[in-house]
Structure 1
Amino acid sequence: MIVKVVYYSMYGHIHAMAQAVAQGVSQVSDARVDMRRVPETLSDDILEKMGALQARDKMKDVQAATVDELDEASAIIFGTPTRFGNMCGQMRQFLDATGKLWASGALIGKVGSVFTSTATQHGGQESTILSFHTTLLHQGMIIVGLPYSFQGQMRIDEVTGGSPYGASTIAGGDGQRMPSENELEAARFQGRHVAEIAAKLG
């Protein structure tokens, strides 16, 4: 059973969450995890001005995602930073290229799940995941979130991401805050949970 973790990360926050998701998937027997980066649409000059080239170097060993390989997965867990309460443009462009998969029904019945990051607690963590679900539903995917059996999402003793819609992290306005252990544990839980659901459906 193949579970793909397909993500875009500019500064490394989603990459760190994706690694934790993959760890969770790997805890399920017979589950093979494939991590894939959504192709970059910005030039190196722009990325350098945005201070993003250093983070990209950390992800250089992760293979670029292709649309044609998505249908080989039993489950796909998508990761995207938030842009104005929605997915980033790179992810949107990648998903907009999946028309052939939609036309053939290739993703119908497969499990889909989403995790995200925002600069602030209220910067669109839930709306990004919920609006992402629309695309998955059009593809006929079975949506799986982060159930309340992961009780870390109910913590009030610290600032933390996470909701029943999916794992999330708060990057801070300057991007200096990396995912906390609670947020990484939410990502691991989500990865394991998705793989378990996919195994039951398989």
Structure 2
Amino acid sequence: MTIRHGCFFSYAHGQHAYMSKFKDDLVDALKCYLEPHFDNEEELFVDSEQLGGGDDLDEKIARALCESACMVAIYTPKYEAHGYTRREFAAMQLLERERKQWYTLPSHLIIPVIMTRHPSGLPPQIAGPGMYVDFSRYTLASGDLKTNPDFLPDIEKIVHRIAEHYHCLKRSTPPEHDCGRFVLPEIPPEWRVIPPPHFPR
């Protein structure tokens, strides 16, 4: 197995400036500060940059996940509503279970980044596993994340965690491991039970 990406970037696609700009700003900041940690690997796998129209998407996504040291998941209510993002999340959980057999994980492989909170709170999949980074104070007026002192400590935390996983995986991956055999799981069920509508009598 060859590590090709420091981190798989999992997010729900947005049509408007708020979601799109946050994703682009975070990608730019992480690439900037991750670059010194890697040799020939790409800092991030971002599907909008690296998948072509004719690709077998499931196969390409599965391989990219397997060839990534960890995952950044941009959490929004839309993220948990979409089956394909829940599927990416579940796939990285499978990889985490596998890699636990190779080395002691310094932390969970999924790094949740909170962009927008759900009115009912964070689901346990995001709040439960450990460290998440809260960017919910971000607005279109926040400017460049990689130079904004309010966000730099959080960027540094994410970069440190990705670099840690990268070096652990690089030291410990069995040479015979084949990412071509990894397949995406079925789309998992919704993360929270939606109560039936209540109508007053």
What TM-score do the two structures reach when normalised by structure 2? Answer: 0.50
Distance 1:145 1:102, change over 3 A: closer
**Corresponding position of 1:145:** 132
**Corresponding position of 1:196:** 160
Letter in 2 for 1:197: R
Distance 1:106 1:24, change over 3 A: farther
2:29 paired with 1:24? yes
Cα separation, 2, equivalents of 1:181 and 1:7: 20
2:14 to 3, 7, 10: 10
**Corresponding position of 1:179:** 140
1:34 to 44, 55, 63: 44
Which structure has the greater CA radius of gyration?
A: 2
Q: Specify every segment of 5 or more residues in structure 2 that has no aligned partner in the other structure, as ranges.
A: 52-56, 168-201
Aligned 1:99-178 pairs, distance under 5 A: 101=95, 104-105=98-99, 109=105, 111-118=109-116, 123=119, 127-128=122-123, 131-134=125-128, 137=129, 143-146=130-133, 166-168=134-136
Distance 1:106 1:20, change over 3 A: farther
Aligned 1:14-93 pairs, distance under 5 A: 14-25=19-30, 26-28=32-34, 29-31=36-38, 32-37=42-47, 61=49, 63=51, 66-83=61-78, 87-89=80-82, 90-93=84-87
Cα offsets for 1:54-100 (capped at 9, x unmatched): xxxxx5x45367133223222321113214xx723231233345575
Give the aligned CA root-mean-square deviation in angstroms: 3.8
Letter in 1 for 2:67: E
Q: Specify every segment of 5 or more residues in structure 1 that has no aligned partner in the other structure, as ranges.
A: 38-58, 138-142, 147-165, 171-177
Relative contact order higher in (CA < 8 Å, ≥ 6 apart): 2
Cα separation, 2, equivalents of 1:98 and 1:74: 10
What TM-score do the two structures reach when normalised by structure 1? Answer: 0.50
Letter in 1 for 2:111: S
1:22 Cα shift?
A: 2.0
Distance 1:122 1:100, change over 3 A: closer
1:198 Cα shift?
A: 3.2
Q: Percent identity?
A: 8
User: What is the aligned length?
Assistant: 141
1:132 Cα shift?
A: 2.3
**Corresponding position of 2:179:** none
Distance 1:111 1:179, change over 3 A: farther
Cα separation, 2, equivalents of 1:200 and 1:105: 14
Cα separation, 2, equivalents of 1:145 and 1:100: 19
